Every structure is written in structure tokens, then in C-alpha cells.
């Protein structure tokens, strides 16, 4: 059996009425096609989801993007209109799960909101709206165009020399899409910023002292993951880490 990746869901209303837990098929495609792992979605609802059961069920976790933002109470600030919408259920599942997985050395990969969750889980604070800061660009999704145009590559990310990202991508500058509003304001003590956009917005992080794969990016590598030269090595490395965890778990159980 392939390694199993748990993909956190987002809350949706089907036809504006029927509540559902779901994630974009780009995420499951990337995990299946590039990571070569079994992709399984779990509810971001603490009423039905237990952290210990998730840790015992999955070999790694993908924390996806989503429209709602991490509630500023999670980093000691007061919510304002600029912070946008929230999903407190996802906060209550994602943040403790990230901390527990990193503590165990279990692989995690964060994307967009997932990047912000990893940052906040380890003590970071967030700007509510990057584009309102002097000298910053608009990182949000273009309002018009096809899906391909919305996920088009839009800016460079410079990578810290010697970082895990520079090693993965074989260089210190990569080009990515950008579809986010918030960003790191102050990095937590274990949050290592490994990549920056052209306006110095943090775009790639890792967790210092993590026993396993613990990376998160602010862009969306799941888009065109099989063919993009930046996305493919990231998801491939994540899959390798999940298989290593699964093999180690099998040895521990023997």
C-alpha cells in the first residue's frame, strides 16, 4: 500500500445550502500523481476529528489553501474587518495537528493558508492585508481570466543559500504564482524564512529543529504540479518523506 497523505478540508455550501467538507482536486492530483501517495481528505471539524487518530492513520499531512484566514486570536491580536473571514473549526484542527506532527517528525507540507497555519502554530503573527503595506505588491488572485490565468506565474522568489528549498529546486531563484492576501509579520522563534518575493514578503518557511519534513510555501504549487519545475520536486520530496515515515512506522510496529 502507498503512503497515505491526509489532506485537510475546507467548509463549503453546495448550492448555498448543503454543508460539505471538500478540497480542490488540484491537491489530490498533486499528491497522487507527483508525490505518488494515497490522497485522503479529512474534515476540518474538531467535533468529529481527533488529532491522535489522524496521526495514527496518516503518514503525512497536506495543509491546503482556503478563503478564510487564521483567526488573529491565535497569535494574540484582535480581529478587524481587514482580517476577512475565519474558519475557527479549521484553526482548532490544523494548529494542534501541525504542532503534533512536527513534534513526532511526521511530514507536513503547507500551502497558502496552510503556510500561515504553520507559521502561526509556531508563534508567528500575520499582516491582515499585504497589499496595504508600503512598497508591497498585490499578491491576491487576479479577479478576471481563466483558471490557468489566475494560477499563472507572476513573481520571482529568492531562496536562502543552503536552504532545503535551494537544494530541492537546484538554484536560489524560482518563479511562482501568487494568490494570497495575508503574510507573515513577525516570524516565530522556530520559523525559518527561507524564501522571499520581490517585495520581501516571506514566501517559503521551514521549522527549525523539526525531526522530519516540515515545509510550507505561500504560493500554490498544487497548480500544474506534474509539469511545473518548482512544484514537481517539492511534491516529490514530500512523497519521499511520507514513504520514509511509513517505513519507519512499520519497523516500529514489528
Q: Does residue 213 carry a pLDDT above 70?
A: yes
Give the pLDDT confidence of 167-185 residue by residue, as tens digits.
Answer: 999 999 999 999 888 899 9
Residue 101: HSE in the Cβ half-sphere, 13 Å Cα cutoff = 34
Q: Looking at residues 118-144, what average pLDDT do you find? A: 87
Q: Looking at residues 146-154, what average pLDDT do you find? A: 82
Give the pLDDT confidence of 60-74 residue by residue, as tens digits.
Answer: 999 999 888 999 999
Q: Does residue 137 carry a pLDDT above 70?
A: yes
Q: Does residue 15 carry a pLDDT above 50?
A: yes
User: Which of 35-49, 140-154, 225-239 is least confident?
Assistant: 140-154
* Confidence at residue 249, expressed as pLDDT on a 0 to 100 scale: 58
Q: Does residue 130 carry a pLDDT above 90?
A: no
* Confidence at residue 12, expressed as pLDDT on a 0 to 100 scale: 86
Helix residue ranges, H only, the chain: 25-29, 51-57, 88-104, 113-121, 147-150, 164-169, 231-253
More confident residue, 6 or 253: 6
* Residue tagged active-site, from 37, 71, 112, 180: 112
Task: Give the separation between CA 240 and CA 86, rounded to whole angstroms.
Answer: 33
Task: Give the separation between CA 115 and CA 137, rounded to whole angstroms.
Answer: 19
Q: Looking at residues 64-86, what average pLDDT do you find? A: 88
Its pTM stands at 0.94
State the pairing for strand pair 214-217/4-8: unpaired
Q: Does residue 251 carry a pLDDT above 70?
A: no
Task: Give the separation between CA 177 and CA 219, rounded to whole angstroms.
Answer: 6
Q: Which residues contact 161 (CB under 8 A, 6 or more apart)?
A: 172
* Residue tagged active-site, from 74, 117, 203, 222: 222
Q: Does residue 252 carry a pLDDT above 50?
A: no
- Residue 77 falls in the annotated catalytic set: no
Burial of 133 (C-beta count, 10 Å sphere; 0-12/13-18/19+): middle
Q: What is the dihedral of CA 196, 67, 22, 187, to 10 degrees?
A: 40
Chain CA centroid to CA 122, Å:
14
> Grid coordinates representing 83?
482580517
Residue 181: HSE in the Cβ half-sphere, 13 Å Cα cutoff = 14
Q: Does residue 1 carry a pLDDT above 80?
A: yes
> Grid coordinates representing 194?
527561507
User: Which of 52-56, 136-140, 177-181 is least confident?
Assistant: 136-140
Residue 230: HSE in the Cβ half-sphere, 13 Å Cα cutoff = 22
Q: Of the spans 125-139, 146-160, 233-247, which averages the highest pLDDT?
A: 233-247
- Residue 242 falls in the annotated catalytic set: no
Give the pLDDT confidence of 183-202 residue by residue, as tens digits.
Answer: 999 999 999 999 999 999 99
Q: Looking at residues 3-32, what average pLDDT do you find? A: 94
* Confidence at residue 254, expressed as pLDDT on a 0 to 100 scale: 29
Residue 26 burial (CB count, 10 A)? 19
Cα 175 to Cα 25, 32, 71, 229, 230, distances in angstroms: 23, 24, 30, 9, 8
Give the three-state DSSP class for 166.
helix
Would you put residue 123 in left (φ > 0), alpha (ψ -120 to 50) or beta? left
- Residue 220 falls in the annotated catalytic set: yes
More confident residue, 15 or 252: 15
State the pairing for strand pair 108-111/60-63: parallel
- CATH fold label, 4-253: Rossmann fold (3.40.50)
Amino acid at each position: 500500500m502507498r503512503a497515505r497523505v491526509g489532506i485537510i478540508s475546507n467548509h463549503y455550501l453546495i448550492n448555498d445550502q448543503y454543508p460539505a467538507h471538500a478540497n480542490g482536486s488540484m491537491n489530490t492530483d498533486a499528491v497522487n500523481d507527483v508525490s505518488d501517495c494515497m490522497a485522503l481528505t479529512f474534515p476540518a471539524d474538531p467535533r468529529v476529528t481527533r488529532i491522535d487518530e489522524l496521526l495514527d492513520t496518516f503518514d503525512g499531512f497536506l495543509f491546503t489553501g482556503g478563503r478564510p484566514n487564521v483567526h488573529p486570536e491565535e497569535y494574540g491580536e484582535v480581529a478587524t474587518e481587514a482580517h476577512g473571514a475565519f474558519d475557527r473549526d479549521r484553526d482548532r484542527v490544523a494548529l494542534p495537528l501541525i504542532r503534533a506532527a512536527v513534534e513526532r517528525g511526521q511530514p507536513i507540507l503547507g500551502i497558502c493558508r496552510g503556510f500561515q497555519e504553520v507559521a502561526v502554530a509556531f508563534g508567528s503573527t500575520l499582516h491582515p492585508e499585504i497589499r496595504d503595506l508600503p512598497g508591497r505588491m498585490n499578491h491576491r488572485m487576479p479577479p478576471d481570466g481563466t483558471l490557468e490565468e489566475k494560477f499563472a506565474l507572476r513573481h520571482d522568489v529568492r531562496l536562502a543559500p543552503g536552504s532545503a528549498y535551494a537544494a530541492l529546486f537546484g538554484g536560489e531563484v524560482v518563479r511562482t504564482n501568487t494568490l494570497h492576501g495575508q503574510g507573515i509579520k513577525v516570524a516565530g522563534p522556530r520559523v525559518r524564512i527561507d524564501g522571499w518575493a520581490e517585495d520581501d514578503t516571506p514566501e517559503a518557511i521551514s521549522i527549525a529543529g523539526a525531526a522530519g519534513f516540515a515545509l510550507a510555501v505561500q504560493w500554490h504549487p498544487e497548480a500544474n504540479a506534474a509539469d511545473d519545475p518548482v512544484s514537481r520536486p517539492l511534491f516529490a520530496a514530500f512523497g519521499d518523506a511520507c514513504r520514509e515515515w511509513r517505513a519507519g512506522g512499520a519497523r516500529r510496529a514489528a
